[in-house]
């Protein structure tokens, strides 16, 4: 196919790799245009400030169903598709789980042949690029847009009105192809006036020139007033473009707008796109629909997904900012708030509080027809505690939609070896029919299959060793265990707990107690640029990495690899090679997690707390196939409400823990690290420890030791792997999207 396509250019054998890549790109784009668009009277619009789509060439070829054909053609000239990964930049349009979820969902929506588009922003530098300098995280702009990218510039333009000026938008599209199916689109809005040259040092820029800076960065630092206002500008710009698109498309299909809900349903991904509600109301009124009807229409076509219970992460904007930037929208928010205040005599459900602060989640809950959490436990906590006063008012609105991941990227693309093995035994239907994966369970006592699972894992581990050696100059020990914690850096995710275990292990080795098998501790995490403690934790991990990896007495037994600029591409390499998956958040704090599901699908065994989707994972695989430790969510919620936790009590009681904590400010650490940062972390753990690391430390160490001990029974371990792989079928995003469609979108 490719060779034919290239007939008019140079013969493929005479081309450089770069030239072949360009041809591959154009060829794949052409194949995509040959596919039809998914059409339907009613369309779902997925509004999200993030879409972490990952590289697209291989993914698109897989979904086109021509990956093997093209790869075979390349093999004839001694190449393979994976040789071209490095030529493509990874789009930097997301931050973590929430953005990757949006992308898995778009893949599943298209694969299930549902009509649904994504709506977001085209950030030129997206999320920062992370570099490590002097054992510290440094942020740089992430230039991902190329001339030959997947972005299609369209002629669609809308005027977005702010108080003192208007901006003209430009829509870019990325095609989203379903597996062996047709296409939907991801619409990314931008302004032509954006000026990349105003970024001076790292990620610093003048926050006041909106027409120049609007779409430069995802989540610009909002620790100051200018930053907060810029976020409001971004959010309103996104939803206003999206609302105008929805109305235009509905009118074209024959809607009279009174019946808009028959043409469009909006899924609001967290609170960032919440202003879609007042904006749609505003647009409908502009089109002649009266006050109450416009509110009713919008509430009947919008649905909201909550992704966190952490109060500091729930968006609240001072009224004055909204008044200053989008007064016509603020006016509608006031109207909605008055309506709420009239009806309910309960301050906890007000949209605007007594400090004149607008609670975006409250606006969502009142003005949508569906509110969902992202895992069973998370939804229970929302309805029974965090949002219980809302749940009382609207018992039927609250529902659960457990997250999921697409098998196309996280198995077929990331782990071709495992995909081939499973396909060999049960055929390849499971790629789109997740229930079929159950058939692989039949091989639970087949020693050949179990051996193959171990062999594949070993090969994937070797590949990762080579990659990390090349990229990080760290030489992992592939005969050892790969223990992996990859996720955004946050205190509640407790990378510091993992780190304390590593320190403990190191101190043990120094005192002569060596592990029976080498262990590689692999970390990947970015910290928000203004989140000081998170950056201090990264600093501590990097310092320990430098101490241990350079200590010849210890580095035979343990190694640390904190990889630079962890992203989707890196995840695709680490996940298939992982033995032990660290999911160790403080119970009740991780809404769901999705990395846990990806690792499970690739045969990693979870070491985790009963938090988020781990709870459901544990129910499916049973106690023998997952390692659970730590306080349960209800205990944690109680301790938090009593305010009774004091870390120093635990520190004083446990010598092993004390030594590990004290090591953070030891001479050895101060030699490679910065005193201020290390002392800040040390003090925080001893005096505050907001997410109760020390409370769970002992149990964590004991269970983790048991994991490493059990790893030695290789056949038993392989059985655990198989049980995990088979049960990961419940976490296919196809399953989640089926539920969203049946219960919310009704397309």
Of residues 119 through 148, those in contact with ligand 26V by CB under 6 A are none
Determine whether 594 is an active site residue. Answer: yes
> If binding is defined by CB under 6 A, does position 326 make contact with ligand 26V?
no
Catalytic residue among 272, 461, 487, 505: 487
Contact track, ligand 26V, 572-611, x by CB under 6 A: ------------------xxxxx-----------------
Of residues 480 through 519, those in contact with ligand 26V by CB under 6 A are 490
Q: Judge contact between 705 and 82, C-beta under 8 A.
A: no
Calculated CA dihedral for residues 88, 91, 92, 95, nearest 10 degrees:
-120
Determine whether 598 is an active site residue. Answer: yes
Separation CA 38–CA 237 (nearest Å): 26
CB of 311 to ligand 26V, least distance (A): 9
Catalytic residue among 493, 559, 686, 720: 493
> If binding is defined by CB under 6 A, does position 103 make contact with ligand 26V?
no
Of residues 611 through 630, those in contact with ligand 26V by CB under 6 A are 612
> Which of these ranges, 95-103, 354-362, 467-475, 562-570, lies near ligand 26V under the rule CB under 6 A?
95-103
Closest to 557 (Cα-Cα) out of 501, 517, 605: 517
> If binding is defined by CB under 6 A, does position 48 make contact with ligand 26V?
no
Q: Give me the half-sphere count of Cα atoms (radius 13 Å) on the Cβ side of residue 294.
A: 20
Give the contacts of 331 (CB within 8 A, at least 6 positions apart).
none
Separation CA 726–CA 744 (nearest Å): 28
> If binding is defined by CB under 6 A, does position 98 make contact with ligand 26V?
yes
Separation CA 379–CA 402 (nearest Å): 9
Select the residue interacting with ligand 26V from 43, 187, 307, 535 (CB under 6 A): 307
Catalytic residue among 305, 594, 606, 609: 594
> If binding is defined by CB under 6 A, does position 529 make contact with ligand 26V?
no
Select the residue interacting with ligand 26V from 12, 74, 81, 101 (CB under 6 A): 101
Q: Judge contact between 580 and 707, C-beta under 8 A.
A: yes
The number of residues making up the chain comes to 747
Which residues are paired to 177 by β-bridges? 183
E-strand stretches of 591-709: 605-608, 627-628
Closest to 62 (Cα-Cα) out of 6, 54, 186: 54
DSSP, residue by residue, 5-35: HTTTSS-GGGS-HHHHHHHHHHHHHHHHHHS
Catalytic residue among 42, 43, 55, 307: 307
> If binding is defined by CB under 6 A, does position 403 make contact with ligand 26V?
yes
Retrieve residue 264's tokens.
């469009």
CB of 307 to ligand 26V, least distance (A): 3
Catalytic residue among 488, 494, 704, 729: 488
Determine whether 378 is an active site residue. Answer: no
Determine whether 124 is an active site residue. Answer: no
Contact track, ligand 26V, 218-257, x by CB under 6 A: ----------------------------------------
Q: Judge contact between 115 and 42, C-beta under 8 A.
A: yes
Determine whether 359 is an active site residue. Answer: no
> If binding is defined by CB under 6 A, does position 308 make contact with ligand 26V?
yes
Contact track, ligand 26V, 257-276, x by CB under 6 A: -------------x------
Q: Is the dihedral of CA 196, 200, 203, 209 positive or negative?
A: negative
Closest to 94 (Cα-Cα) out of 135, 133, 145, 128: 128
Determine whether 487 is an active site residue. Answer: yes
Separation CA 114–CA 741 (nearest Å): 9
Select the residue interacting with ligand 26V from 77, 168, 313, 458 (CB under 6 A): 313
E-strand stretches of 48-144: 116-121, 129-133, 136-140
Nearer CB in complex with ligand 26V: 591/607: 591
Show which residues are catalytic: 307, 487-488, 493, 594, 598
Q: Which residues bind ligand 26V (CB under 6 A)?
A: 96-98, 101, 270, 307-308, 310, 312-313, 374, 403, 490, 590-594, 612
């Amino acid at each position: 196919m490719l060779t034919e396509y290239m007939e008019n250019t140079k013969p493929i054998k005479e081309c450089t790799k770069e030239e072949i890549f360009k041809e591959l790109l154009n060829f794949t784009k052409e194949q995509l245009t040959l596919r039809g668009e998914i059409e339907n009277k009613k369309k779902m619009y997925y509004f999200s400030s993030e879409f972490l789509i990952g590289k697209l060439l291989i993914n698109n070829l897989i979904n086109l169903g021509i990956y093997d054909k093209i790869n075979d053609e390349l093999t004839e000239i001694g190449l393979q598709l994976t040789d071209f990964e490095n030529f493509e930049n990874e789009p930097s349009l997301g931050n973590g789980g929430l953005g990757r979820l949006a992308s898995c969902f778009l893949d599943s929506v298209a694969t299930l042949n549902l009509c649904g588009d994504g709506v977001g922003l085209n950030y030129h530098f997206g999320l920062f690029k992370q570099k490590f300098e002097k054992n510290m995280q440094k942020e740089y702009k992430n230039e991902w847009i190329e001339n030959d990218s997947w972005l299609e510039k369209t002629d669609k333009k809308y005027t977005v009105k702010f108080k003192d000026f208007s901006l003209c938008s430009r829509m870019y599209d990325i095609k989203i192809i379903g597996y062996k199916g047709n296409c939907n689109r991801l619409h990314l809005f931008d302004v032509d006036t954006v000026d990349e040259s105003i970024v001076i040092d790292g990620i610093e820029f003048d926050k006041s020139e909106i027409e120049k800076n609007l779409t430069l960065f995802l989540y610009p630092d909002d620790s100051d007033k200018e930053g907060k206002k810029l976020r409001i500008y971004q959010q309103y710009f996104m939803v206003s473009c999206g609302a105008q698109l929805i109305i235009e498309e509905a009118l074209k299909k024959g809607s009279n707008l009174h019946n808009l809900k028959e043409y469009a349903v909006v899924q609001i991904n967290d609170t960032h796109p919440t202003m879609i509600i007042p904006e749609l109301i505003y647009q409908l009124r502009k089109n002649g629909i009266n006050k109450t009807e416009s509110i009713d229409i919008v509430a009947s076509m919008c649905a909201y997904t909550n992704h966190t219970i952490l109060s500091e992460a729930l968006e609240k904007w001072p009224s004055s900012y909204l008044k200053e930037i989008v007064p016509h929208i603020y006016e509608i928010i006031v109207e909605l708030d008055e309506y709420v205040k009239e009806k309910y005599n309960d301050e906890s459900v007000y949209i605007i509080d007594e400090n004149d602060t607008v609670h975006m989640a409250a606006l969502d809950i009142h003005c949508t027809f569906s509110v969902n959490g992202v895992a069973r436990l998370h939804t229970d906590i929302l309805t029974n505690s965090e949002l219980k006063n809302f749940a009382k008012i609207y018992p039927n609105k609250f529902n659960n939609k457990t997250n999921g991941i697409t098998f196309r990227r996280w198995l077929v693309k990331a782990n071709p070896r495992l995909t081939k093995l499973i396909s060999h035994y049960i055929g390849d239907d499971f790629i789109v029919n997740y229930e079929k994966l159950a058939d692989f369970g039949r091989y639970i006592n087949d020693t050949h299959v179990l051996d193959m699972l171990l062999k594949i894992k070993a090969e994937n581990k070797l590949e990762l060793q080579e990659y990390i050696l090349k990229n990080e100059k760290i030489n992992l020990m592939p005969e050892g265990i790969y223990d992996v914690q990859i996720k955004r850096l946050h205190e509640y995710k407790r990378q510091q707990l993992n780190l304390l275990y590593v320190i403990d292990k190191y101190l043990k080795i120094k005192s002569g107690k060596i592990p029976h098998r080498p262990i590689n501790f692999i970390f990947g995490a970015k910290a928000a640029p203004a989140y000081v403690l998170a950056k201090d934790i990264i600093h501590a991990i990097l310092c320990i990495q430098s101490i241990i990896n350079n200590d010849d007495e210890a580095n035979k037994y343990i190694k640390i690899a904190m990889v630079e600029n962890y992203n989707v591409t890196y995840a695709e390499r680490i996940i298939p090679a992982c033995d032990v998956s660290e999911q160790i958040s403080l119970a009740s704090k991780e809404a769901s997690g999705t990395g846990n599901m990806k690792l499970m699908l690739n045969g990693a065994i979870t070491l985790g707390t009963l938090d988020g989707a781990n709870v459901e994972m544990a129910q499916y695989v049973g106690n023998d196939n997952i390692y659970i430790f730590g306080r349960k969510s209800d205990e944690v919620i109680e301790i938090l409400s009593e305010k009774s936790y004091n870390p120093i009590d635990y520190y004083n009681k446990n010598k092993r823990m004390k030594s590990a904590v004290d090591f953070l400010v030891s001479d050895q650490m101060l030699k490679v690290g910065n005193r201020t940062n290390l002392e800040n972390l040390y003090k925080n753990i001893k005096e505050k420890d907001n997410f109760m690391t020390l409370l769970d430390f002992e149990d964590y160490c004991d269970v983790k030791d048991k994991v490493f001990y059990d790893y030695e029974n290789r056949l038993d371990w392989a059985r655990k792997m198989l049980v995990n792989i088979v049960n990961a079928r419940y976490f296919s995003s196809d399953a989640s999207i089926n539920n969203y469609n049946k219960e919310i979108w009704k397309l």
